[in-house]
Structure 1
């Protein structure tokens, strides 16, 4: 059993390039074979090479063809997976822009729609369909994030502003930890991941072969190949989600650690000013994200603070510890809640003045001011 377990990953790694390579080799043969006379320059060397190849026995031609298919598939798979990742990222960003801009904030609770509802719903459905991280995995990672920050002393209500997307979009990097902490579970993850990649790399050459093959009924063949490719891509997304579910569940069960969350938790604990309330804890998370180099995520956290009930305490913490993100928060508050913007600045200025003067009057005076 141990030998079989050690061999299976290697067999899975061999299967994808071989399968895709044979299909790409078929495409190359269909395209190049009829044009061989024009591609090969006539010369004594060419004629000698042709005679040599024709003299090979079948027992030699098959291994050479398989080796060529493997090399072709290895190169083609790298290109296909790269392009697939880029295409997925492009479509997801486009769909996110379409869904995030459904409404424009006007005043208070008044919103106005900027596009028809069916466009928003369609974009949301497509975005959910191609997301490699399922809703279950998002929930598990979210709970694991709150647990990690909770062990560092961060209250749950404050930890909720942590941008979980920072973890979910890099969840695949947890596989290395899983291979050490739970090898059997890693085998299941690796199998699902290989199944997903196999379907991705097979779909393009299958469709290309249907397009170039000199067969009757070409439109029907292309239609069937397109449908088969779509099914393969759908299965690939499903397998990819199942693989990520394993990693998310491992994070939830503490079989792996979340490096980004752990780094932020450690930084929060090392800050000189220990937070004393929920708002200050939220400000500390923003400061920690910035110190760890997660600049975009720090801005996302600030945007969540702008509409939080503990806005003033968080703003006060940023005023004293991170003026850059305080200015970001100030602009966001001015955008989403103009009525509260001036009042917030006034209250913060009063607190700053009292801090400088050493005055410690009750905060009820702030409300009167």
Structure 2
């Protein structure tokens, strides 16, 4: 797989829909349970059966692979739902776990305080002056209750290159308010320019987010080392998220037809989906770092910079 990925750029992008499609076909096979030794009675199914017999196993495998790729490509529309459900489920479980651990910590602190109070009570005569000092650390409680195992995606609107051009445009507009070229103010409205600046800045941030979700071959194709790592992280994240829906369907089908014990596989599915989100976060962090260091050029930032350059300096 690594050799193919190196020889054929973007090969990893085929894995997610292809494997997901195979799993969907496996789910369909488990549900229908066809008898391939008997020719179907349905005319359409019978013609497909005759075609498969006439072409042979090689063409059957090719047709199944093409069908699996198409089915898997369609099923990838469920990936955003998997992202949302996994992020909420894992982070909520993390907060519950953090709260439970902090409750145990607070109980241990309180128990130790009572033990110290009992020891001092036997050795100090002025019991009324005895105070109990317990440190429950509210900041630690806040961290425990806001624990996140899956961090949110980076905010592309905070990109230094984008914000730098935004600050440059703001500075130009401030200078124009004080001393604008003759005739320029009559053709332009400073307040309208500020509104246009905000709109273009937000549009550039949205375009930058979409641009960073493009295949790694389009982003860092001229940097082999960066391309290889970015392509690997992006493909692994997409693969894990694409596997969740078909495996979930197979799990439900097996739990209904056999035993509910199969539902335990949902724990593994959550782990797989969480790993996929982790790979995606690493990919986005890698892209953000490469963008900050100038290793890749974003068209959205260049277009925003070109518009900022059209504003007179003074």
TM-score bin (small chain): 0.5 to 0.7
- The offset of 1:152, in angstroms, is 7.2
Given the alignment, which residue of 256, 268, 281 partners 2:296? 256
1:213 paired to 2:254: yes
- The offset of 1:197, in angstroms, is 0.6
- The offset of 1:214, in angstroms, is 6.6
SS in 1 for 2:33: helix
Query: What is aligned with 2:99?
Result: none
1:194 paired to 2:192: no
- Given that residues 172 and 247 in structure 1 are in contact (C-alpha distance below 8 angstroms), is that contact kept between their aligned partners in structure 2? no
Q: How many residues align?
A: 231
Q: Label 1:235 to 1:243 Cα distance change in 2 as closer, same or farther (>3 A).
A: same
- 1:273 and 1:140 map into 2 onto residues whose CA distance is 24
- Given that residues 19 and 73 in structure 1 are in contact (C-alpha distance below 8 angstroms), is that contact kept between their aligned partners in structure 2? yes
What per-residue deviation string (whole Å, max 9, x for no partner) do you get for residues 237-267 of structure 1?
1111111122111121122345555555554
- Given that residues 145 and 164 in structure 1 are in contact (C-alpha distance below 8 angstroms), is that contact kept between their aligned partners in structure 2? no
- 1:265 and 1:121 map into 2 onto residues whose CA distance is 40
Query: What is aligned with 1:76?
Result: 75
- Given that residues 27 and 209 in structure 1 are in contact (C-alpha distance below 8 angstroms), is that contact kept between their aligned partners in structure 2? yes
- Given that residues 21 and 69 in structure 1 are in contact (C-alpha distance below 8 angstroms), is that contact kept between their aligned partners in structure 2? yes
- 2:232 and 2:219 map into 1 onto residues whose CA distance is 14
- 1:61 and 1:264 map into 2 onto residues whose CA distance is 51
- 2:271 and 2:302 map into 1 onto residues whose CA distance is 39
- 2:66 and 2:309 map into 1 onto residues whose CA distance is 56
- The offset of 1:228, in angstroms, is 1.6
SS in 2 for 1:213: helix
Q: TM-score, normalised by structure 1?
A: 0.47
Q: Label 1:52 to 1:144 Cα distance change in 2 as closer, same or farther (>3 A).
A: closer
- 1:252 and 1:227 map into 2 onto residues whose CA distance is 37
SS in 2 for 1:203: helix
Query: What is aligned with 2:64?
Result: 65
What per-residue deviation string (whole Å, max 9, x for no partner) do you get for residues 101-123 of structure 1?
xxxxxxxxxxxxxxxxxxx9899
- The offset of 1:191, in angstroms, is 1.8
Q: Please say which of residues 199-208 and 241-250 is displaced more in the overlay.
A: 241-250
- Given that residues 25 and 69 in structure 1 are in contact (C-alpha distance below 8 angstroms), is that contact kept between their aligned partners in structure 2? yes
- Given that residues 204 and 229 in structure 1 are in contact (C-alpha distance below 8 angstroms), is that contact kept between their aligned partners in structure 2? no
- Given that residues 203 and 233 in structure 1 are in contact (C-alpha distance below 8 angstroms), is that contact kept between their aligned partners in structure 2? yes
SS in 2 for 1:255: coil
- 2:257 and 2:307 map into 1 onto residues whose CA distance is 67
1:12 paired to 2:50: no
* Structure 2 spans left out of the alignment, 5+ residues: 93-141, 173-197
Q: Label 1:48 to 1:143 Cα distance change in 2 as closer, same or farther (>3 A).
A: closer
Q: Label 1:170 to 1:268 Cα distance change in 2 as closer, same or farther (>3 A).
A: closer
- Given that residues 140 and 249 in structure 1 are in contact (C-alpha distance below 8 angstroms), is that contact kept between their aligned partners in structure 2? no
Q: How does 1:41-120 map to 2 (within 5 A)?
A: 42=41, 50=49, 61-77=60-76, 79-81=77-79, 83-84=81-82, 87=84
1:129 paired to 2:129: no
Q: Label 1:263 to 1:21 Cα distance change in 2 as closer, same or farther (>3 A).
A: closer
* Structure 1 spans left out of the alignment, 5+ residues: 96-119, 156-161, 275-369
Q: Label 1:184 to 1:153 Cα distance change in 2 as closer, same or farther (>3 A).
A: farther
1:244 paired to 2:290: no
Given the alignment, which residue of 167, 170, 175 partners 2:208? 170
- The offset of 1:143, in angstroms, is 3.6
Q: Label 1:80 to 1:255 Cα distance change in 2 as closer, same or farther (>3 A).
A: same
